[in-house]
Amino acid sequence: MFSGLFKKKNSADSVVGIDIGSSAIKVVQLSEKRGRVVLDTYGALALGPYSGAEVGQATNLSSDKTASALSEILNEAKITAKNAAIAIPFGSTLMTIIELPAASEKHLKDIIPIEAKKYVPVPINEVSLDWSLIPRDKPEPDKSRGAVEDGKESSRGKKDQKNPAEKIEVLVVAIHNDVVGKFKQIIGGVGLQSDIFEVEIFSTLRAVMEPTSEPIMIMDVGAASTKLYIVERGNVESSHTINRGSQDITSTISRSLRLPIKEAEIIKRTKGLGFREDRELGGAIFLTLDHIFSEAGKVMRNYRSKSGQVLNKVILVGGGSGMKGFAEAASANLQVEVLSGDPFSKVEAPAFVSDLLKNTGPEFAGAVGVALRYFSE
Ligand SMILES: Nc1ncnc2c1ncn2[C@@H]1O[C@H](COP(=O)(O)OP(=O)(O)OP(=O)(O)O)[C@@H](O)[C@H]1O
Ligand SMILES: [Mg+2]
């Protein structure tokens, strides 16, 4: 599951983007060469076997075990960068939109921690906060949105509003310091240095969004859950988590076809929904997919009735969305255009691997996106 395909350069101007998901670690090394961001190498490693589970299953590993898994994939993928950028799992963060009087815009640094107290269920000094103004008028995808740097507050993404309305909306993200601490320990444990810790939602957004004013939904199909992000004019409008993911498809295949998890996983990955004649397999897969699509459909309808805008496009990321027939099934079910995220299109890579990168892209959106952040500073 790795490919050290590309030429290595020295590590001075390169970064490794790291996405530690519940079921797999993804790493992507990018370098800047003559003003261009180039893909050096990338790789993924399943975590299941580190906790006695199978490939494709979600885990909850200690920092030590995570560090040894990370070390293994850094070696396998021949990562040489010493700087790391880390995507923080969305599930360990709290995100909320706070409405404030326009007059408070100049004092956000003081006001946000006070306001955030109302939404954060732990003492405010136990979390790292970040925020960004939600622009009112112009579409403006923000590269640095939602970043938490080195556990400290940062207020990037602030913009001058030329025409201040009465109220402003601010997107606030809180991450518990223990979470940042755990990631620092893991990164330190493998000899990397990092001061970029970013909530995965923003990394993913950077990796797959094109400038567009129409609202879209990003669907991240992971192992244990499916995350939905509604993006309006380049900004996250809301997020939802569905407690089903691709490992549940493996479980239903295993139960319906009476196969061990390991074999069910292989069938899911090789056949998926690609064989129409295989009704039994399709039926097993749809036991999970129906739930995911019906929840996603509800989220889309709610958004429509709340905002008066229609979501016409869904972008897929996450390993689970790579299943054969997933995009077609999603499109038929949700009645919208469904595209697979193509994060590697944002970096330079040899043409002969472009098909491969298109196929593996959705799985690597978080890792590519957080690595790109390093060059956007
Ligand atoms: N080609 C494929 N076909 C079907 N399922 C796949 C394929 N490749 C990976 N998966 C499934 O995708 C899931 C892993 O996706 P991903 O790596 O995005 O999850 P994760 O980041 O570990 O999870 P999360 O983000 O929820 O913590 C696994 O359950 C795996 O079985
Ligand atoms: Mg993930």
Looking at domain 216-340, does it have CATH number 1.20.1250.20?
no
Residues of the chain with CATH 3.30.1490.300: 91-177
Nearest CA to ligand 1 atom 17: 319
Angle at 25 between CA 24 and CA 30, to 5 degrees: 145
> 79-122 pLDDT, tens per residue?
999 999 999 999 889 988 899 998 888 898 899 999 999 988 88
Query: What does CATH list as the number for 91-177?
Result: 3.30.1490.300
CA dist., res. 121 & res. 338, Å (int)? 36
State residue 238 phi and psi, 5-degree precision: -165, 170
Q: Is 262 in the pocket of ligand 1 (CB under 6 A)?
A: no
Query: pTM to 2 decimals?
Result: 0.88
Please determine, for residue 165, whether its predicted confidence score (pLDDT) is greater than 60: no
Asked if residue 141 has pLDDT above 50, the reply is no
Residues across the chain: 377
Using left for φ > 0, alpha for ψ between -120 and 50, and beta otherwise, residue 99 falls in beta
80 alpha carbon – ligand 2 mean position (Å) = 23
- At 12, the pLDDT band (50, 70, 90 cuts) reads low
Q: Yes or no: say if 93 and 173 are a contact pair by the CB < 8 Å rule.
A: yes
Band of residue 10 on the pLDDT scale cut at 50, 70, 90: very low
Pocket test for ligand 1, best of 92, 363, 364 (most atoms within 8 A of CB): 363
Name the phi and psi angles at 249, rounded to 5: -65, -45
Give distance in angstroms: CA of 63 to centre of ligand 1: 21
Nearest CA, atom 5, ligand 1: 320
pLDDT of 185 reads 94
Ligand 2 center from residue 278 Cα (angstroms): 29
Ligand nearest to the CA of 23: 1
| C-beta of 315 in contact with ligand 1 (< 6 A) | no
The pLDDT of residue 238 is 87
pLDDT digits (tens, 9 = 90+) for 284-341: 999 999 999 999 999 999 999 999 999 999 999 999 999 999 999 999 999 999 999 9
Residue 375: name the closest of 115, 35, 64 by CA.
Answer: 35
Q: Whose CA is closest to 126, among 181, 186, 196?
A: 181
- Give the model's pLDDT for residue 103: 86
CA separation for the pair 365, 206 (Å, rounded)? 9
* Residue found under tokens 């709340």: 306
Span 266-278, average pLDDT? 91
For residue 264, give the amino acid letter. A
Q: How far is the CA of 21 from the centre of ligand 2 (A)?
A: 4
Question: Ligand 1 within 6 A of 113 CB?
Answer: no
Cα dihedral 116, 120, 121, 124 sign: negative
247 lines ligand 1 (CB under 6 A): yes
Residue 111 contacts residue 101 (beta carbons within 8 Å): no
Q: Structure tokens of 287?
A: 């036991």
pLDDT above 90: residue 216: yes
Pocket test for ligand 1, best of 266, 269, 275 (most atoms within 8 A of CB): 269
- The segment(s) of the chain belonging to CATH 3.30.420.40 are 2-89+179-208+341-375, 216-340
Task: Write phi, then psi, for 87 (nearest 5 degrees).
Answer: -90, 125
pLDDT for res 264: 97
3-state SS assignment for residue 197: strand
Q: What is the domain class of 2-89+179-208+341-375 according to CATH?
A: alpha beta
Q: Is the CB of 45 under 6 A from ligand 1?
A: no
Strand order across the beta sheet in which 167-176 lies? 93-101, 167-176, 127-133
